[in-house]
Amino acid sequence: MNNKELIKIAIEAMNHSYSPYSDFKVGAALLTTSGNVFTGCNIENASFSPTNCAERTAFYKAISEGERGFSKIAVVGGINGNLTDYTFPCGVCRQVMIEFCNEDFLVIIAKSEDEYIEHKLSELLPHSFTSSDLGGEL
Which residues of the chain form contacts with ligand THU (CB under 6 A)? 19, 22, 24, 26, 42, 44, 51, 53-55, 87, 89-90, 93
Of the pair 22, 131, the CB lying nearest ligand THU is at 22
Catalytic residue from among 5, 55, 99, 123 = 55
Nearest-approach distance from CB 11 to ligand THU, in angstroms: 14
Judge whether 117 and 109 are in contact, CB under 8 Å: yes
Of the pair 48, 135, the CB lying nearest ligand THU is at 48
Of the pair 21, 131, the CB lying nearest ligand THU is at 21
Of the pair 31, 97, the CB lying nearest ligand THU is at 97
Residues 122/127/128/133 CA torsion (nearest 10 deg): 130
Q: How far apart are CA 68 and CA 39, in angstroms?
A: 15
Is 55 a known active-site residue? Answer: yes
Nearest-approach distance from CB 43 to ligand THU, in angstroms: 7
Nearest-approach distance from CB 136 to ligand THU, in angstroms: 27
Nearest-approach distance from CB 4 to ligand THU, in angstroms: 21
Closest CA relative to residue 36, chosen from 77, 15, 66 = 66
Residue type, 18: Y
Tell me which residues are annotated as active site. 55
